[in-house]
Structure 1
Amino acid sequence: MSRNRDIAESESLEIVGDTKQKTSNKDVEQKGAKQEPECKTDLADQTYYLPRRYIIQVFLACASVGMTGLLDETMIAVALPLIASDLNTGSQISAVATAYFITSTACQMLYGRISDIWSRKSVLLSLLFILFIGNLASSLAQTFTQILVFRAIVGIGGGGIGTVGQIIVSDVVSLRQRGKYQGILGSSVALANGVGPIIGGALAGTSSDGWRWIFRLELPLAVLSAAAVIFFMPLKPVEGSILNKLAKVDWIGAALALLGTTTLVLGITWGGSEYPWSSGHVIGTLVAGGVSSILFILWEWKGAALPLMPLHIYKNRVVIGGIATHTLNGFLTVVQVFYLPTFYQTVYGYSAVKSGAMILPIVLVQTAISTLSGIIITLTGRYRELILSGWAIWTIGLGLITTFNANTSLAKQIGYSLIVGLGVGQTFQPSLVAIQGAVERREMAVITSVRMFVRNLGGTIGLAIAGTVVNVMFRSHLKSLNLPADVYEAIIDNPVVARESVDAATLGQIIEGYRRGFRVVFIILVAVSGLALILAALLMVNYSLHRDDDAELKEKAKKLLEEKKAKKKGHDDEQKGANGGL
């Protein structure tokens, strides 16, 4: 007998779709979480287990939306050196990526609960609109400040698209089957990570301001994605007045989350690059972020009627393990996507397109393994073994990448990347299934949102640390070469010009300085991946992915669809009758 059936014999659990939930105070650890008293503010249930043909069209719409958001994020990565050259921003260009991640991370905590209140579809369409406006403005930016502000706006929309898409998939598919569908959805994520840098490099390389076409391309993609959401997502609406929905939002928690995340990330980003770690700017923002975060936790614990982040979910070890490893996953993934192409451009002299293509070995393997992992979870109901082997392989692959030097062959560069992709594909989607299975259904959207929040936070921290390490080490090495002041400043502003402004011997020394900085970054990635492996081994245990009300929910969805069809048929018949009577 499954663990969940044991729970059903001892307790009266929530049947999704009912208006009330009766709970007991007994421990239900088998299901992954303790039952908590009902929230003061009721939420409409949006679970809607659809037949296969509807699932496929919802999945394709989610994949389209997810690709739009991720292409926006990854296309820009390989174009950063070219943007730096066009806008004369130099080493500050990493702030463009950081601006996006600050807003996408700061707002991430809101997406899950707001989609509970307003409905998944309306929130997703709103995010696509913000993405559209931000990219339109970015394509017209004339200064470094403008591009920073506009990319921050894009981050608000782009940051939530993937999160809400994952929540929608979880609404329409049972937990056991979810592994297969989310694995395939993870493949679209991997595909965007792979083709994004190639497309971005090709567009950016067309002219000195070719990078603007990256943002222009996002405009029709956003429109097409919005059309897919409108016409191919037969999701449940959420009833209620706007005022009632506004009253349900945890505004104080949202403000504290935004303030805490923004100031923490700014402090980490500034430290060691813009300002010394001992400066008032860095210390002030870190202290403000720490205090705001503490106040946020206290408010969510004692003050919020409908918390953005219910603290009781952290009583479960799988949730703790999933959140911790997702933070590290974000650190690793974002640094890989942003800094591997830059590494290939500066150290090996590859073009923007070729540098982007060098991510493909990771992506192609990740795509296949992500899909296979989802199928394995559906067949076996187990995820722990996949997660552990994934982290182990990822660590080995990164360790091999640290050996890259000026003489490393292209075959080794590709081969080591294939190993990394094999590990990445086994960690991302299986751990999502794990944490969703560790909480009650009513917390599914929240835990999915929190998972993306910590992943983005990890990515933001990773970008800041990697950028600081590379810049500090490169500047130190460059000073030791005693270059003319104008050449030194030109190379700092845009390292690519070094290939055109110095002799071959000096160029070799400059490249060696960059390679040393990147090697330290890769060593840090190995340590982070190893830590994730240890945490996963200690905390990520297998829970049952069966829930007793799955069959009932499928039947309810079937009946609801039949009722909608009958209603539509009746309406059409009335229209025909009315037209015939004219």
Structure 2
Amino acid sequence: MHQVFIMCTLSIISLMVALDACIIVTALNAIIVDLELSTSGGIWIGTSYLLANAVTMPLLSELSNIFGRPIVLVVSLCCFMVGTLMCCLAQGLALLLSGRVIQGIGGAGIMSLSLVIFTDMVPLRWRPKWYGFVLGAWAMGNCAGPVVGGAIALETTWRWIFYLMFPLCIIGLVLVIWLLKFRAPVATGSEKVRRVDWIGGICFIISASLLLVAISWGGSQFSWSSPGTLSPLCLGFAGLLATLLFETKIASRPFLRRRLFRTTSSVITYICGTIQGFLIYGQLYYIPFYFQSVKGFTALETGVAILPVMVTCIPSSMITGIIVTRSGNYRWAIWIGWAVLLIGSALTIILDENTPTPIWATILVIIGLGHGAILNAQNFASQAMCDPGEEGAAAAMYAFVRQFGMALGVGVGGSIFQNTMANKLRWEGLDTSIASQSEALVSIIWGLPSNDYTRSQALDAYTYGLHSVYLFFSCISAVALALSLFSKHYHMREEVDSEHILEGMSFEL
């Protein structure tokens, strides 16, 4: 019963983090208009969170190995609350982005430790079934976010999307302090501080941040050949190479464990995890944007339109977990999931202003089924492929690569969209600056008369830009499916191997 309560707590805080990441999607236009931001600035409201989330995950997971799970999780929840408060009070982009970054750091600890703690309690053989509930809560937050954000943006101030997080934060913090009684490896405070790979961790965070920033604004805020893009791109690559060299040759206790990448199958699994993260956030951003820009839906209507993803992704994830647990085989779910997701991604290319509801709803159902199957099965494939005792590190690494992909999804998609939309506008003789202000100008364009030339051509440009993004998503789905076919099966162990022991608590029902 103690373990079940911990699982419920992890579900609550995972729901909160996922909700915060996606609730911004349908409320973004309201924020941009209220704070008078550009589309590039608006994209960074989402990207800054995902970037901070991705680059800090590995170090926070390693800190939990040294200092213990409870203290790192409590600090992460406190960071999330502080960042949320900053977002609530923001009157400009600077404070809002700062709050999103701090939220991202807190969310990184919450998401990675939600995975890692399961490796301390539940044997891998039975883990997919039980973790399906936490994963379902995370998927629910991802999919319900646009609905809730749309309702809030339509009915009240966008700040309520952040106020909403405080009750969940407080409940999660109380439950974590009460329930998480893990006994960490014994050491003095100074010994624990000395064990941390500070040099490698800080170098990794700085280098990965530079790389993600360069990729995110390349082709949108700066051209790919400009110093503003090339400088952080080159520094980021050089820094990551230097970090990897330090981790493999110099660090006495490296936080990046090379053993996790010892087989071709494990490398494939982490690459596919990155691709799924890229797709799930890219699609959760640019499909709602299709409804708002091309179909003219309100924020609330857009949120409701995304419901087919939620009502299929969550059951798909849970059912996959149950079947994987019973069969002990995860490869079939990965293969079927990627095949279904490829079909759904390819079908989004046909979406335009005249696409009827049954068509786009069916496409979203297919996408939800594919993502749900992959989310669960691929996650535990990475843990089956590692050495005994490395499952917590494998879980943290998988969470990181998936989040790294998420950070890329919105930024790279934005670069593709703005460039292709600008080309279409140029061909039609319209102002190409519409592309860089595409979020803010949606309501203005739809306010023009239906027979206005600018309106029809601008909507065509939106459709053209989105089709380019969807085509790219389809191509990388195909790459992931092809790679997954070469992954081998590994036995799912039936015992727990962890230094972090859950101390018993008495519960009477």
Report the TM-score, using the length of structure 2 for normalisation. 0.94
* Structure 1 segment 180-329 matched on structure 2, within 5 A: 180-207=129-156, 210-329=157-276
Corresponding letter in the other structure for 1:524: F
Structure 2 residue corresponding to 1:513, chosen from 461, 473, 487: 461
1:78–1:355 Cα contact (<8 Å) kept: yes
* Structure 1 segment 457-468 matched on structure 2, within 5 A: 457-468=404-415
Measured after TM superposition, the shift of residue 167 of structure 1 is 0.9
> What do residues 296-332 of structure 1 show as CA deviations (whole Å, max 9, x unaligned)?
1111101112211111221123311210100101110
Measured after TM superposition, the shift of residue 154 of structure 1 is 1.1
1:487–1:501 Cα contact (<8 Å) kept: no
Cα distance in 1, alignment partners of residues 432 and 115 from structure 2: 51
Cα distance in 1, alignment partners of residues 180 and 5 from structure 2: 7
2:29–2:440 Cα contact (<8 Å) kept: no
Corresponding letter in the other structure for 1:261: A
Q: Cα–Cα, structure 1 residues 279 and 544, in superposed 2: closer, same or farther, change >3 Å?
A: same
1:106–1:257 Cα contact (<8 Å) kept: yes
Q: Cα–Cα, structure 1 residues 493 and 405, in superposed 2: closer, same or farther, change >3 Å?
A: closer
1:159 equivalent in structure 2: 108
2:398 equivalent in structure 1: 451
Cα distance in 2, alignment partners of residues 246 and 425 from structure 1: 39
Structure 1 residue corresponding to 2:127, chosen from 175, 178, 198: 178
Measured after TM superposition, the shift of residue 77 of structure 1 is 1.5
Cα distance in 2, alignment partners of residues 405 and 486 from structure 1: 22
| Percent identity of paired positions between Structure 1 and Structure 2 | 27
Cα distance in 2, alignment partners of residues 186 and 167 from structure 1: 13
Measured after TM superposition, the shift of residue 484 of structure 1 is 7.9
Measured after TM superposition, the shift of residue 482 of structure 1 is 4.8
> What do residues 210-263 of structure 1 show as CA deviations (whole Å, max 9, x unaligned)?
111111111221111111212233433454332221111100111111111011
Q: Which has the larger radius of gyration?
A: 1
1:37 equivalent in structure 2: none
2:490 equivalent in structure 1: 543
2:309 equivalent in structure 1: 362
1:140 equivalent in structure 2: 89
Measured after TM superposition, the shift of residue 145 of structure 1 is 2.0
Q: Cα–Cα, structure 1 residues 444 and 485, in superposed 2: closer, same or farther, change >3 Å?
A: closer
1:111–1:449 Cα contact (<8 Å) kept: no
Do residues 130 (structure 1) and 89 (structure 2) align?
no
Corresponding letter in the other structure for 1:345: Q
1:84–1:494 Cα contact (<8 Å) kept: no
Q: Cα–Cα, structure 1 residues 230 and 557, in superposed 2: closer, same or farther, change >3 Å?
A: closer
Cα distance in 2, alignment partners of residues 386 and 484 from structure 1: 47
Cα distance in 2, alignment partners of residues 126 and 157 from structure 1: 8
1:90–1:494 Cα contact (<8 Å) kept: no
Report SS of the residue matched to 1:507: helix
Q: Cα–Cα, structure 1 residues 239 and 473, in superposed 2: closer, same or farther, change >3 Å?
A: same
Do residues 419 (structure 1) and 366 (structure 2) align?
yes
Do residues 526 (structure 1) and 474 (structure 2) align?
yes
2:11 equivalent in structure 1: 63
Q: Cα–Cα, structure 1 residues 519 and 350, in superposed 2: closer, same or farther, change >3 Å?
A: same
Corresponding letter in the other structure for 1:83: I
> What do residues 511-535 of structure 1 show as CA deviations (whole Å, max 9, x unaligned)?
1110111111111111111100111
Report SS of the residue matched to 2:155: coil
Measured after TM superposition, the shift of residue 109 of structure 1 is 1.5
Q: Cα–Cα, structure 1 residues 410 and 184, in superposed 2: closer, same or farther, change >3 Å?
A: same
Corresponding letter in the other structure for 2:493: H
Cα distance in 2, alignment partners of residues 90 and 238 from structure 1: 49
Measured after TM superposition, the shift of residue 454 of structure 1 is 1.4
2:81–2:169 Cα contact (<8 Å) kept: yes
> What do residues 18-48 of structure 1 show as CA deviations (whole Å, max 9, x unaligned)?
xxxxxxxxxxxxxxxxxxxxxxxxxxxxxxx
Q: Cα–Cα, structure 1 residues 248 and 557, in superposed 2: closer, same or farther, change >3 Å?
A: closer
1:77 equivalent in structure 2: 25
Q: Structure 1: where are the runs of 5+ without partners?
A: 1-52, 569-582
Cα distance in 1, alignment partners of residues 11 and 450 from structure 2: 48
Measured after TM superposition, the shift of residue 90 of structure 1 is 2.2
Cα distance in 2, alignment partners of residues 171 and 557 from structure 1: 7
Do residues 474 (structure 1) and 430 (structure 2) align?
no
2:26–2:288 Cα contact (<8 Å) kept: yes
> What do residues 362-411 of structure 1 show as CA deviations (whole Å, max 9, x unaligned)?
12111111111111111110001110011001101111121112221101
Measured after TM superposition, the shift of residue 447 of structure 1 is 1.7
Moved more, 444-453 or 68-77: 444-453
2:425–2:431 Cα contact (<8 Å) kept: no
> What do residues 402-437 of structure 1 show as CA deviations (whole Å, max 9, x unaligned)?
111222110111111111111111111111111111
Measured after TM superposition, the shift of residue 489 of structure 1 is 8.5
1:118 equivalent in structure 2: 67
Cα distance in 2, alignment partners of residues 305 and 212 from structure 1: 46
Q: Cα–Cα, structure 1 residues 404 and 248, in superposed 2: closer, same or farther, change >3 Å?
A: same
Corresponding letter in the other structure for 2:370: G
| Cα-Cα RMSD | 2.2
2:320 equivalent in structure 1: 373
Cα distance in 2, alignment partners of residues 262 and 440 from structure 1: 30
2:58 equivalent in structure 1: 109
Q: Cα–Cα, structure 1 residues 335 and 187, in superposed 2: closer, same or farther, change >3 Å?
A: same
Corresponding letter in the other structure for 2:443: V
Cα distance in 2, alignment partners of residues 430 and 169 from structure 1: 15
Report the TM-score, using the length of structure 1 for normalisation. 0.83
Q: Structure 2: where are the runs of 5+ without partners?
A: none
Cα distance in 2, alignment partners of residues 463 and 471 from structure 1: 12
1:99–1:148 Cα contact (<8 Å) kept: yes
Corresponding letter in the other structure for 2:416: V
Structure 2 residue corresponding to 1:88, chosen from 36, 39, 44: 36
Measured after TM superposition, the shift of residue 490 of structure 1 is 6.9
